[in-house]
């Protein structure tokens, strides 16, 4: 029987989501905890990958068991007791036997958080910026992302993507007040390092280093070398992974 595991994590101390042979990952910690609780080896498949230092407010993975789980809420409680404090499971839900955490996801939503005023409480979860930004210009440039499909300009060099086509349905900067902002972007899929590269290039627009027309040329170029620098990892959160209801309609 297949289940979806819903969880969140502070990625500060991990080398990303995906299992690494010589480094600690979120996937490793979850597989170890599940295997200990279920008393047999468990392999989980995540909805995607997050890089070293990136966080997730909502991540999803699937795993299989031979027999249906009993007292799922109790299992969530026990699993959280085993996991380190920076990983938290929120739910375990039965799904269709062919449901896939990665391939059945219809959209993912990220936010990148920045603060304009230094605070010791933001160092793990936001990036402190020291310069003035024109957020109106940044939002005008961000709108161009919705009418574009090839995001090769924002894909990490050497990535093994079969295609650089993505469909962005939301891209905006939001002011939270008190010098706090976040960039929110929603798409059907994301390329490796894509969000951090987009944010870095939009910051160049906000600083007046490139114009909105220049941002459009970056998009059209398809070349990572003409885009801006990637911003640091700690400000990036995977906020949500979306699925069609059919994934949760169990076959009888």
DSSP code of residue 227: S
Task: Name the residue among 189, 210, 192, 178 with its Cα closest to residue 113.
Answer: 178
Q: How would you classify residue 222: left for phi > 0, otherwise alpha for psi between -120 and 50, otherwise beta?
A: left
- Separation CA 56–CA 11 (nearest Å): 7
Tell the burial category of 40 from Cβ atoms under 10 Å away from its Cβ (0-12, 13-18, 19+): exposed
Catalytic residues: 51
Q: Two tokens at 209?
A: 């280093």
Q: Supply the DSSP symbol for 246.
A: G
Paired tokens of 60: 């999803």
């Amino acid at each position: 029987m297949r289940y979806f595991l819903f969880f969140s994590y502070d990625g500060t101390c991990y080398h990303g989501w995906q299992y690494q042979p010589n480094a600690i990952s979120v996937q490793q910690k979850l597989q170890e905890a599940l295997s200990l609780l279920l008393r047999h080896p468990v392999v989980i498949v995540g909805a995607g990958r997050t890089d070293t230092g990136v966080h997730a407010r909502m991540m999803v993975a699937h795993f299989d068991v031979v027999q249906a789980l009993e007292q799922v809420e109790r299992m969530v409680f026990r699993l959280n007791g085993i996991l380190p404090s920076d990983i938290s499971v929120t739910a375990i839900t039965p799904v269709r036997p062919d449901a896939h955490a990665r391939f059945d996801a219809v959209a993912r939503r990220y936010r990148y958080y920045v603060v304009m005023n230094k605070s010791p409480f933001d160092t793990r979860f936001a990036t402190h910026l020291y310069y003035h930004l024109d957020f109106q210009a940044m939002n005008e440039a961000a709108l161009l992302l919705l009418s574009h499909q090839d995001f090769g300009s924002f894909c990490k060099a050497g990535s093994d993507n079969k295609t650089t086509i993505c469909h962005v349905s939301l891209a905006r900067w939001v002011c939270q007040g008190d010098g706090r902002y976040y960039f929110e972007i929603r798409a059907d899929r994301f390329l490796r390092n894509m969000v951090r590269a987009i944010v870095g290039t939009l910051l160049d627009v906000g600083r007046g280093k490139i114009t909105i027309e220049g941002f459009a040329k970056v998009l059209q170029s398809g070349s990572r070398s003409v885009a801006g620098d990637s911003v640091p990892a700690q400000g990036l959160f995977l906020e949500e992974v979306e699925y069609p209801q059919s994934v949760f309609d169990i076959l009888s």
